[in-house]
Amino acid sequence: MNDEQRSLLLRSAARFPLPEGMRFSYGTAGFRADALVLHSTMFRAGIIASLRSLKNDGAVIGLMVTASHNQITDNGVKIADPSGGMLSQLWEPFTDAVANAPDADHLLRQLICDFAEKEGISFDGSCRAEVLMGRDTRPSGESLLEAAKEGVNAIAGSAATDMGVLTAPQLHWMVRARNRGEKASEVHYFEQLAGSFRCLIDLAPNHGQKSTISKLVVDGANGVGAEKLELLIKMLDVSFIEVRNNGKGGGILNEGVGADYVQKERVVPDGFGGDDVGIRCASLDGDADRLVYFMIPSASGKDIILVDGDKMLSLFALFIKDQLSVLLQGDVKDNSFQPRLGVVQTAYANGASTDYLKRSGLEVIFTPTGVKYLHEKAAEYDIGIYFEANGHGTVLFSKCFLSWLEARSNELSSNSAGSDQQRAALRLMAVSKLINQAIGDALSGLLLVEAILFHMGWSISQWNELYHDLPSRQLKVKVKDRTAVVTTNAETTVVKPPGIQEAINVVSAKYPRGRSFIRPSGTEDVIRVYAEASTKDYADGLAKSIAELVESYLG
């Protein structure tokens, strides 16, 4: 690193001192905290994004200023890798170290210089870094984005491109598109989603009745997702989608609204009530990377029937499996290729959903909790589907499968125009373009749900009847040292302390359809307990018994 680059970094870093007493940790959610203490973190995240671009030979990296479903006074930052996915886990320790460097000199000498040498990152100007940046609608976003830009610019020759106010999935989509040599503006994002949705509607068996699609009411969490969904509705020129909680009527971001609130509290969001009984409803989260559906069953207008990420996963898996089965019927010239379809869940997935998927003939595997683990495992399949119950997930299609699918579609087009197999191929191609393969995306997910429900001719009630969730309960047990609990088998089996797993098995077996596991929190000294059983009382009782076990072993 030359003297000019050193001087630039030192001068810039000195303007963004680390707040006294603060420590930041980068995880699945990126960095998050009260917006007032984040300027140094944003500056340093800009540096990391530039270095990540240099590490990848100048590939575009994304930097998104958002705190998703957190309260409006919080903010945060997520970094997107060249694939459009999350920042590599291998860089998380370095990212933490950079964010917590006590001063500019330490940041430069002991972290950036040493790490760059280790990673083979050159500052000689032979490679230029490029970072796409976006922010959601939080009031603090603009000043924090400016701090991140200064971080990018602290690496000589780096280019920071402000893409404006976006959902987090839009920015991830743009990064992926840019690195694939594709058009990557917001308009192109909307055009791809709209075109793919129309294609699926036109290919539905009942496409002539598309004007009769029943009403959908969407809770926009008073966030950026509402604004973008309203733009998308205009482009689609449809009238069946109504957006509420769009932030224009004085509503506060994520306060009594949003997918996280609806999924955890199991009550209606603000702006919904007894007048919406029987109507299909959906809720986005603050940065529009989560989506859940719900129904209001009675005129009291308080309680809901939740249709969560597990149900979305099941709907998508069923539809894709059906189309794949049609496509593979009869003679196929290239019969050496057998696409592998897999479903990826965590231990928090409701056991009823796992049973349903397996009964439907789908391959189901588990990973530890966290989107980064789910995404990585799903990418091992030709078609990999993952969703968490909170509504975050997507569908991944391998390059090999998409190449085969295109060839198969061309073959069918020339031999049997208008056949069921050709339509199945076209549907799968449309799904691969509609779904955001970079990351979970509430807008693309919502359109895919609507297209599949229309294709099936299903109401939300019929969709919800695919299976019935087992009652579940989650508890937290405070402990002195959460690291005393060590798990394996995707966090479903405890290997330390000795004996506790056997005790959990004995207790769980006493309850009809009882299943329970424990895992250490990633952020606080608590052990998380999950339990499910055939009734709510049984689930509550099992969770309480397991919590008492934890206390007896670790108290």
Instruction: Map tokens 């294609």 to a residue.
Output: 199
Dump pLDDT digits (tens) for 265-305. Answer: 999 999 999 999 999 999 999 999 999 999 999 988 788 99
154 and 18 within one domain: yes
318 and 298 within one domain: no
293 and 393 within one domain: no
Residue 482 belongs to what domain range?
A: 472-554
487 and 421 within one domain: no
Is 209 among the domain residues?
Answer: no
Residues near 314 by beta carbon (within 8 Å), at least 6 away in sequence: 353, 356, 357, 466, 467
- Residue at a domain's end among 248, 281, 306: 306
Per-state percent for the chain, helix, strand, coil, to nearest 5: 45, 20, 35
Identify the three-state secondary structure at position 151: helix
502 and 363 within one domain: no
- Identify whether the C-beta of residue 353 lies closer than 8 Å to the C-beta of residue 345: yes
Question: Which of the residues are catalytic?
Answer: 68
287 and 328 within one domain: no
Identify the three-state secondary structure at position 176: helix
Instruction: Map tokens 């000195």 to a residue.
Output: 14
Residue 242: both structure tokens together: 């109504």
Quote the CA–CA distance of 293 and 223 in Å, as a whole number.
Answer: 17
pLDDT at 330: 66
pLDDT at 417: 57
- Residue at a domain's end among 282, 306, 330: 306
323 and 300 within one domain: no
Is 301 among the domain residues?
Answer: yes
Dump pLDDT digits (tens) for 505-525. Answer: 999 999 999 999 999 987 778
Quote the CA–CA distance of 195 and 430 in Å, as a whole number.
Answer: 8
279 and 340 within one domain: no
16 and 155 within one domain: yes
pLDDT at 211: 62
DSSP state of 469: P
CA atoms within 13 A of residue 134's CA, in its CB half-sphere: 25
Q: CA torsion sign, 201 to 203 to 205 to 207?
A: positive
Residue 331: both structure tokens together: 């003679």
How many CB atoms lie under 10 A from the CB of residue 443?
A: 25
386 and 456 within one domain: yes
CATH of the domain at 298: 3.40.120.10
Dump pLDDT digits (tens) for 375-389. Answer: 999 999 999 999 999
- pTM score, whole prediction: 0.94
Phi/psi at 282 (5° precision): -145, 160
Quote the CA–CA distance of 252 and 431 in Å, as a whole number.
Answer: 34
Q: What angle do CA 201, 207, 210 make, to 5 degrees?
A: 80
The DSSP annotation for 393-437 comes to: EEEEE-HHHHHHHHHHHHHHHHHSTT-HHHHHHHHHHHHHHHS-S
CATH of the domain at 513: 3.30.310.50
Is 545 among the domain residues?
Answer: yes
Strand segments (E) across 245-325: 280-284, 291-295, 305-307
- Identify whether the C-beta of residue 395 lies closer than 8 Å to the C-beta of residue 320: yes
486 and 342 within one domain: no
378 and 497 within one domain: no
pLDDT at 4: 86
pLDDT at 332: 56
Kindly list the strands in the beta sheet with 31-34, ordered across the sheet, starting from the edge strand earlier in the chain: 31-34, 74-80, 60-65, 130-135, 159-165
Residues near 47 by beta carbon (within 8 Å), at least 6 away in sequence: 9, 98, 112, 151, 152, 154, 155
pLDDT at 424: 96
Specify the amino acid at residue 273: G
- Residue at a domain's end among 431, 464, 497: 464
Q: Which residues of the chain have pLDDT under 70?
A: 208-212, 330-335, 416-418
Residue 441: both structure tokens together: 């995306």
Q: In the chain, how many domains are there?
A: 4
Parallel/antiparallel/unpaired status of strands 526-532 and 472-478: antiparallel
Q: Facing residues of 341 across strands?
A: 383
Dump pLDDT digits (tens) for 32-48. Answer: 999 999 999 999 999 99
The CA–CA distances, whole Å, from 203 to 199, 425, 460 equal 6, 11, 21
Is 204 among the domain residues?
Answer: no
